[in-house]
Amino acid sequence: MQMIADACGVSRNAVSVALRGGGKNVSEATGARIRAKAEELGYTRDPELSRLARRLAQNKTKGGVRGEIPFLVPVPKGYQPESSLMYQGMCKDAARRMGYQLEPYFCGPDFHSPKRVQQIWRSRGIRGVLMFSPFLEEMTGEWAIHWDAFSWVLFSETMNTPMFHRINWDFKASVLVCYQKLREKGYRRIGLIMADGYDSKIGHGGTAATAIHHQYCKPTERVPRLSSNDASPQTKPSVIEKWVERSQPDAVIALDDVLPVIQRCSSKTNTTLGFASFRLEKEHAGLIAGVMPGFETLAKTAIELLVGQMDHNVKGIPKHPLLTHVEGEWMEGPTAPGI
* Per-residue pLDDT tens digits for 120-135: 998 888 999 998 876 6
For residues 255 and 290, what is the distance between their CA atoms, to the nearest angstrom? 9
Separation of first and last alpha carbons in the chain: 69
301 to each of 98, 123, 178, 316, 318, how far by Cα in Å? 12, 27, 25, 19, 17
What domains appear along the chain, each with residue ranges and CATH number?
2-44 (no CATH), 66-168+297-324 (3.40.50.2300), 171-293 (3.40.50.2300)
Quick one: pLDDT band at residue 142, thresholds 50, 70, 90?
low
- Provide φ and ψ at 154, rounded to 5°: -115, 140
Q: Are residues 154 and 166 in contact, defined by beta-carbon separation less than 8 angstroms?
A: yes
Closest CA relative to residue 164, chosen from 173, 152, 176, 172: 152
Contacts of 189 (CB under 8 A, 6+ apart): 221, 223, 247, 248, 249, 250, 251
Secondary structure of residue 77 in the 3-state scheme: coil
pLDDT in tens, 66-106: 889 999 888 777 777 666 677 788 899 899 988 899 999 98
Return the pLDDT at 31: 83
Contacts of 153 (CB under 8 A, 6+ apart): 128, 129, 130, 131, 164, 165, 166, 167, 302, 305, 306, 309
In percent, the amount of the chain with pLDDT more than 90 equals: 47
Q: Are residues 205 and 175 in contact, defined by beta-carbon separation less than 8 angstroms?
A: yes
Quick one: pLDDT band at residue 307, thresholds 50, 70, 90?
very high
Decide if pLDDT at 159 tops 70: no
Distance of CA 330 to the CA centre of its chain: 20
Following CA atoms 171, 176, 178, 184 in sequence, which dihedral angle do they give, to the nearest 10 degrees? -170
Closest CA relative to residue 279, chosen from 305, 304, 265, 298: 298
44 or 69, higher pLDDT: 69
pLDDT in tens, 318-338: 989 998 999 999 999 999 999
Q: Taking each helix axis from N to C terminus, what angle separates 259-269 and 237-247, rounded to the nearest 10 degrees?
A: 50
Q: Are residues 203 and 158 in contact, defined by beta-carbon separation less than 8 angstroms?
A: yes
Return the pLDDT at 137: 59
Return the pLDDT at 21: 67
54 or 259, higher pLDDT: 259
19 or 117, higher pLDDT: 117
Q: Are residues 305 and 153 in contact, defined by beta-carbon separation less than 8 angstroms?
A: yes
Half-sphere exposure of 185 (CA within 13 A, CB side): 25
Q: Report the chain's mean pLDDT, rounded to a whole number.
A: 86
Q: Highest mean pLDDT range out of 42-51, 76-85, 192-201?
A: 192-201
Span 155-178, average pLDDT: 82
Secondary structure of residue 230 in the 3-state scheme: coil
The number of beta carbons lying within 10 Å of the beta carbon of residue 63 is 7
Distance of CA 283 to the CA centre of its chain: 21
Span 305-311, average pLDDT: 93
